[in-house]
Amino acid sequence: MSVTRSIYVLWLREVKREWREKTRIIASLTTPILWLFIFGTGMRAGKIEGITDYQVFIFPGVIGMTLLFSSIRSGISVIWDKEFGFMKEILVAPVSRSTIILGKAMGGATNAFLQGIIVLVLSPLIGLWLHPVRAVLALPTMFIMALGLECIGLLIGIFLDSLEGFQLIMSFLNMPMFFLSGAIFPLSMAPKALAVAGYIDPLTYGVDALRIILLGNYGILPLWIDLTIVCMFALLMISLCSLALRKKKQ
């Protein structure tokens, strides 16, 4: 009971903080929209074998990107908490480290998830009329993807103490993870080395799962494998973060 409540208040804090900063939300939605409408529209003219509509093809990838960028960015909250002292308040409270991580991770993941939904809702604008069942089925996958990605951000935040350092690492992670995930080109057609790198990228499986669920097309792996990997990754990352927070000396 008290653990659930602790997780709940920490979750609520993350969500409140995010949605009180309207500019931040708008800024973080701008990137995916630019990719979808400018890059997507521009590339539509080109022909890639096996892809009928490029904009539709990258749509699940752009959702994946929204989740990725938003999740990793929110790891910065750990650094803010350290700088502005709130971390101390949490750390001296009689709650376990995994409770703290769960609250923070679910909060950040929720924010990313909600932004992902905003992008999902834009689908008619590219002429993609999703079946409601498909859209609803995509939601849990999106949330679990966000949870795993969020923990990457938290992990960096736990180990770093400076905002500059965080931003540097973030920019080194975001783009490669996005490009390698097969979000904007099919991994099946990529050269071997690139494809191997793609399979190391955890985002790949989420994007693949979203393609199968939303579009019923372009999948490269069976859905159950994608989903298993997405879930395992989230679990692994949550455990790693809890461990890191326990180990990290004040």
Question: What's the min distance (Å) between Cβ of 170 and other proteins?
Answer: 18
Under the criterion CB under 8 A, does residue 23 sit at the interface with other proteins? Answer: no
Asked whether position 172 contacts other proteins by CB under 8 A, the answer is: no
- Return the HEC string of the chain: CHHHHHHHHHHHHHHHHHHHCHHHHHHHHHHHHHHHHHHHHHHHCCCCCCCCCHHHHHHHHHHHHHHHHHHHHHCHHHHHHHHCCHHHHHHCCCCCHHHHHHHHHHHHHHHHHHHHHHHHHCHHHHCCCCCHHHHHHHHHHHHHHHHHHHHHHHHHHHHCCCHHHHHHHHHHHHHHHHHHCCCCCCHHHCCHHHHHHHHHCHHHHHHHHHHHHHHCCCCCCCHHHHHHHHHHHHHHHHHHHHHHHHHCCC
Tell whether residue 91 is a contact of other proteins (CB under 8 A): yes
* Nearer to other proteins among residue 99 and residue 115 (C-beta): 99
Query: Taking CB under 8 A as the rule, does residue 124 contact other proteins?
Result: no
In the complex, least distance from residue 108 CB atom to other proteins, rounded to whole angstroms? 15
Listed residue (71, 83, 197) closest to 144, CA to CA: 71
Contact status: 95 vs other proteins (CB under 8 A): yes
Told to check if 250 binds other proteins by CB under 8 A, we report yes
Identify which range of 5-13, 113-121, 201-209, 231-239 contacts other proteins by CB under 8 A. Answer: 5-13
Stretch that binds other proteins, among 38-46, 146-154, 155-163, 204-212 (CB under 8 A): 155-163
Binding window for other proteins (CB under 8 A); candidates: 24-32, 83-91, 170-178, 188-196: 83-91
- Residue 162 makes contact with other proteins by CB under 8 A: yes
Q: Is 164 in the site for other proteins (CB under 8 A)?
A: no
Based on the shown chain and the rule CB under 8 A, indicate whether residue 168 belongs to the binding site for other proteins: no
- Which residues are at the interface with other proteins (CB under 8 A)? 2, 5-6, 8-10, 13, 16-17, 20-21, 81, 83-86, 88-95, 161-163, 250
